[in-house]
Amino acid sequence: MPIGVDIEPLREIADMDSVAEIVLAAEEREVLRNALAALRSRLFLRYWTLKEALLKAAALGFTIAPNTVIVDAGPSPAVLSVPAALGSAAQWRLIAPAI
């Protein structure tokens, strides 16, 4: 079973909305927009680390656009949708600490 890991320091993200347009799917951007202002950077980083770890596990890196991978970044993160190159969303499992 392939494993991918990504770690990011918690920090404020400059120009988060512009970066979110590139790396998050529309559904994820909507969740981010509706999050409490104090939690937005933390939530963005959670989306980012989940997606980057999955793409590392797939050994495809950023040959797959991160906005084509849709994840639920909630307390029990899950892969909701992936492009065909990654197989089925059901075959991927995400593990992350609580936010």
76 close to 50: Cβ distance less than 8 angstroms: no
CA distance 28 to 93: 18
Extended strands (E) in 1-99: 70-72, 78-81
Q: How many domains does the chain have?
A: 1
pLDDT at site 11 = 83
| Domain contains 58 | yes
In this predicted model, what pLDDT tens digit does every residue of 66-93 receive, in sequence order? Answer: 999 999 999 999 999 999 999 999 999 9
Closest CA to 43 of 54, 53, 33, 57: 33
| Domain contains 3 | no
| Domain contains 98 | no
| Domain contains 28 | yes
Q: Which residues pair with 78 in a beta bridge?
A: 72
pTM for the full model?
Answer: 0.91
| Domain contains 83 | yes
Domain that includes residue 37, residue range: 16-91
